[in-house]
Homo-oligomer: A and B are copies of this chain.
Amino acid sequence: MSYAPNTPIDLIAVDLSRPAADQAQPLHNRWHPDIPPVATVATGVPFRAEAIDWTGGQIANNDDASDVRDIDLRRCHHLSGPIRVEEDGVPAAPGDLLVVDICDIGPLRGHEWGYTGIFDAANGGGFLCDDFPEAGKAIWDFDGKFTSSRHIPGVRFAGMTHPGLIGTAPSAELLAEWNRREGDLVATGEERLTLPKHLATRPLACLPEPAGALLGAIKADHPDHDRIAAEAARTIPGREHGGNCDIKNLCVGSRVYLPVFVEGAHLSFGDLHFSQGDGEVTFCGAIEMSGYAVFKASLIRGGVQKYLTPTCASKPLSVYPLFEVSPIEPRYTEWLVFEGQSVDASGAQHYLDASISYKMCVRNAIAYLSKFGYTAAQVYLLLSCCPCEGRISGIVDVPNCCTTLAVPTRIFDQDIRPCRDGPPVGPRLITRGECARPR
């Protein structure tokens, strides 16, 4: 006898020539348990599923960042799925751990490019919105596993390709908890909680928003459509089910353990990243792309109780994913590392604030690297998408939290380490052009 090859089954396809809202297998951009699966898969079977970039095609391969400036965030993220998972014909059950092997991810043939954007302040901005209030964009071309950009010349690196977003569907109970706590934040957050106001140029949270909602097979004329659209959670943050965690290390070759909250697990994914830096600091900050993924699922029955513990004792569903990293992450030996402390740009001292510390750390890195022929915006884009590592190095030394940002020196075509002569000046300085601005 002869065997069939181990070709992944084709589970979900997208057609980039059609609108994101009009795909044969409908996409969704909200989380809700009532969004029906678009496909079913058995454990142990590799499957291929495609996804449109997170904006659903709003960004073009050009030199004009006005599309980033004018993006409609209510339509994001465009997700493929949900996928119902079964083992021996029995669906995944709440309380199981869904194990997903991330076997492969890549761009769609004919679409070997991606983008990194700086969000305009009017659209919420990014992590350093105060410094970079204006929209910007860099287009990245892919050479196999590597990428380079006409907007940030002189750098080239291998992708740590990953799904920025992968998660199971929430149960009605978990969804209600999300809406409760995020609603609380919006309603009373500025007074009740510890808000780093300097960051708050953006909405505190994105509550359910019927406008722009895509609910998969639940179309506008479906009797439940309006109810679901009003209840369904936005996809912006990561949560207990995984979701938009934006972890660069969740890349090809890793294995993630996701809690199951609904029968069948209802796995969805999207927001494919060719590469990302820790923090994804420009917000639209990874190298965003349309692409395909190959996954393989298995189940640990009852795994939530076996392995996980609620972070909030009174909320049994407050359990979070874990994962194993890949042996094929790109590795670097030489890193240049920048430091930040909890003193903000006005010189004010904060208390063990890792967010402010990391902000200052990223600013230090940008200022340094800008001495090598780049504009600050180019470096900001680069640190958002290259494989840099952002670490919480010390978080107990009152009042400062020390964070560090490590940049692999190999990705540059010049030596960026300090030397006696200082950075290149005069004839030695090669100006590295500009990233895209709105026209």
Contacts and interface: CB of A to CB of B under 8 A. Distances in A.
Contacts of A396: 126-127, 246, 279-283, 285
Interface string A159-197: 000000000000000000100011011000100011111
A403 B393 contact: no
A308 B182 contact: no
Interface stretch (A20-28, A29-37, A329-337): A329-337
A351 B200 contact: yes
B143 A247 contact: no
B5 A113 contact: yes
Copies in the complex: 4
B355 A354 contact: yes
B312 A349 contact: no
A433 to B, nearest CB: 15
B358 A6 contact: no
A220 interface: no
Nearest to A356: B194
B422 A307 contact: yes
A71 interface: no
The CB with the most chain B CB atoms within 10 A, among A126, A313, A326, is that of A326
Interface residues of A, number: 159
Given A5-B61, A239-B341, A280 B145 contact: no
B343 A318 contact: yes
B6 A113 contact: yes
A46 interface: yes
Contacts of A311: 343, 345, 360, 363-364
Contact of A5 (B110, B126, B337): B110
A429 interface: no
Contact of A399 (B99, B205, B253, B346): B205
A18 interface: no
A308 B302 CA distance: 42
A62 B2 contact: yes
B306 A423 contact: yes
B339 A238 contact: yes
Contacts of A347: 177, 181, 312, 314-315, 318
Given A196-B353, A203-B398, A331 B327 contact: yes
Contacts of A371: 306-307
B278 A393 contact: yes
A329 B333 CA distance: 9
A287 interface: no
29 contacts: A2-B62, A3-B61, A3-B139, A6-B142, A6-B143, A126-B396, A181-B348, A182-B399, A193-B351, A196-B351, A196-B352, A200-B351, A238-B400, A246-B402, A280-B397, A300-B420, A301-B420, A311-B360, A315-B347, A320-B340, A320-B341, A321-B339, A322-B418, A324-B417, A327-B410, A332-B333, A353-B355, A390-B392, A390-B393
Given A7-B109, A145-B253, A323-B336, 20 more contacts: A1-B63, A5-B110, A6-B113, A158-B253, A181-B349, A182-B399, A185-B350, A194-B198, A204-B399, A238-B394, A245-B394, A247-B337, A247-B339, A247-B393, A279-B396, A322-B364, A324-B335, A324-B336, A329-B331, A352-B355
